[in-house]
Chains A and B, each alone.
Chain A
Amino acid sequence: MLRYGLPLLVFGVILYFLFGGLSRDPRLVPSPLVGKPAPAFDLPQLRTPETRSSQADLVGTPTLVNVWASWCVACRDEHEVLLRLARARRVRVLGLNYKDERDNALDWLSRLGDPYESIIVDADGRAAIDWGVYGVPESFLVDAKGIIRYKHVGPLTWALVEDELFPLLKKSPGRP
């Protein structure tokens, strides 16, 4: 029993972990920022470049910070979801325009619709590094106290919004 059972058991355990590894996406890197305060920033706004925004503007109501760019193909996929999320009025949607041209960004919004309450501009990508951004689009849920509660890399889907965002919003007080 031990002679054949034990190697078989060890083989089974190895197989379990190897197969488990196959179904995981290596591109998803868990962010160390979840549970931490949103990083400090001081950036101009897209629509009114003379006004600036900082991390203080995140405090008060839960906010979805969405990192996007007009050159980003996957951002187009999630745009409908963002518009629907903005209409649902359960969370404030803030844009972080990453390494983009102002004209292209404004043109994108006028053509596809504008889900953002306000948009900050990170022209050289320096602020995005502080947010640990490595692939646009990325979305962060920041609670009313300014703590990052959730991060998603890649295009948002409505299923994700319902399964991940809304339950977290229920837990976090202070609706917009």
Chain B
Amino acid sequence: MPVLALLVLFTVFGPALAADPAVFRFEDAGSEARFQALTKELRCLVCQNQSLADSHAELAGDLRREVHAMMKAGKADREIVEFLVRRYGDFVLYRPPLDPRTAALWLGPIGLFLLAGLVGFIALRRRGATPPPEVAAEERARILALLQSGPENGATGTPSHKI
């Protein structure tokens, strides 16, 4: 029976145990949503493929605490992001700003798309412009004869039909 009680306890409180030990207090649901949105946009430096919101790294916890403290101090999202970028660089941003260094990153796909469109357009136009192949006079006569010879000779023919 005590085993069962333990099992029930773990089932009920398991998710709570797995969660971050630092639970933040928010004055209203709006600021909690703001905190979640902000930390989702910021990248953890330790486990680099996780956001600050998801990461269990100790540093991520510390940085969440900083973000929370700055929110409480009335800082705007932009100021909080700037605080982290000044220390850790653009790396913390999942969406780096558009500047000369990142121009290729932001404009590259559009450029490639336009280039592919241009190449495709030129290729299609070229194909349209080429005249149908020349047919020699005797070949032409044979083709016409075949076309006029009617169903007994061509139209019902199987693909292996010999000319």
Min Cβ gap B8→A in Å is 36
Asked if A125 is at the interface (CB within 8 A of a chain B CB), the reply is: yes
Quick check: B62 and A33 within 8 Å, CB to CB?
no
In the bound assembly, the distance between CA atoms of A30 and B91 in angstroms comes to 8
In the bound assembly, the distance between CA atoms of A26 and B59 in angstroms comes to 18
Asked if B117 is at the interface (CB within 8 A of a chain A CB), the reply is: no
Interface of A: prevailing SS: loop
In the bound assembly, the distance between CA atoms of A135 and B85 in angstroms comes to 17
Quick check: B86 and A134 within 8 Å, CB to CB?
no
B89 surroundings in chain A (CB, below 8 A): 29-32, 132
Quick check: A131 and B88 within 8 Å, CB to CB?
no
Quick check: A32 and B85 within 8 Å, CB to CB?
yes
B residues 85-115 in Cβ contact with A at 8 Å: 85-89, 91
Asked if B63 is at the interface (CB within 8 A of a chain A CB), the reply is: yes
B residues 104-154 in Cβ contact with A at 8 Å: none
Across the interface, name the chain B residue whose C-beta is closest to A125. B62
Min Cβ gap B113→A in Å is 15
Quick check: B87 and A33 within 8 Å, CB to CB?
yes
Asked if A130 is at the interface (CB within 8 A of a chain B CB), the reply is: yes
* Binary B-proximity of A21-34 (CB < 8 A = 1, otherwise 0): 00000110111110
B residues 53-106 in Cβ contact with A at 8 Å: 58-59, 62-63, 66, 85-89, 91
In the bound assembly, the distance between CA atoms of A99 and B62 in angstroms comes to 11
Asked if B37 is at the interface (CB within 8 A of a chain A CB), the reply is: no
User: Given A129-B62, A129-B66, does the pair A32, B86 have CB atoms closer than 8 Å?
Assistant: yes
In the bound assembly, the distance between CA atoms of A130 and B89 in angstroms comes to 12
Quick check: A32 and B45 within 8 Å, CB to CB?
no
In the bound assembly, the distance between CA atoms of A27 and B85 in angstroms comes to 17
Quick check: B87 and A29 within 8 Å, CB to CB?
no
**Residue in contact with A29 in the complex, picked from B59, B66, B88, CB distance below 8 Å:** B88
With a 10 A CB-CB cut-off, give which of A27, A124, A126, A129 has the most chain B CB atoms: A129
Quick check: A129 and B86 within 8 Å, CB to CB?
no
Quick check: B48 and A130 within 8 Å, CB to CB?
no
**Residue in contact with B87 in the complex, picked from A124, A125, A131, A135, CB distance below 8 Å:** A131
Asked if B33 is at the interface (CB within 8 A of a chain A CB), the reply is: no
User: Given A27-B48, A129-B66, does the pair A134, B85 have CB atoms closer than 8 Å?
Assistant: no
In the bound assembly, the distance between CA atoms of A31 and B88 in angstroms comes to 6
Across the interface, name the chain B residue whose C-beta is closest to A132. B87
Across the interface, name the chain A residue whose C-beta is closest to B62. A125
Quick check: A32 and B48 within 8 Å, CB to CB?
no
Quick check: B91 and A29 within 8 Å, CB to CB?
yes
Min Cβ gap B73→A in Å is 14
A32 surroundings in chain B (CB, below 8 A): 85-89
B66 surroundings in chain A (CB, below 8 A): 126, 129
16 A-B pairs with C-beta separation under 8 A: A29-B91, A30-B91, A31-B88, A32-B85, A32-B87, A32-B89, A33-B87, A99-B58, A124-B62, A129-B62, A129-B63, A132-B88, A132-B89, A134-B59, A134-B88, A135-B46
Q: Which 4 A-B pairs have the closest CB atoms?
A: A134-B45, A132-B87, A32-B89, A29-B91
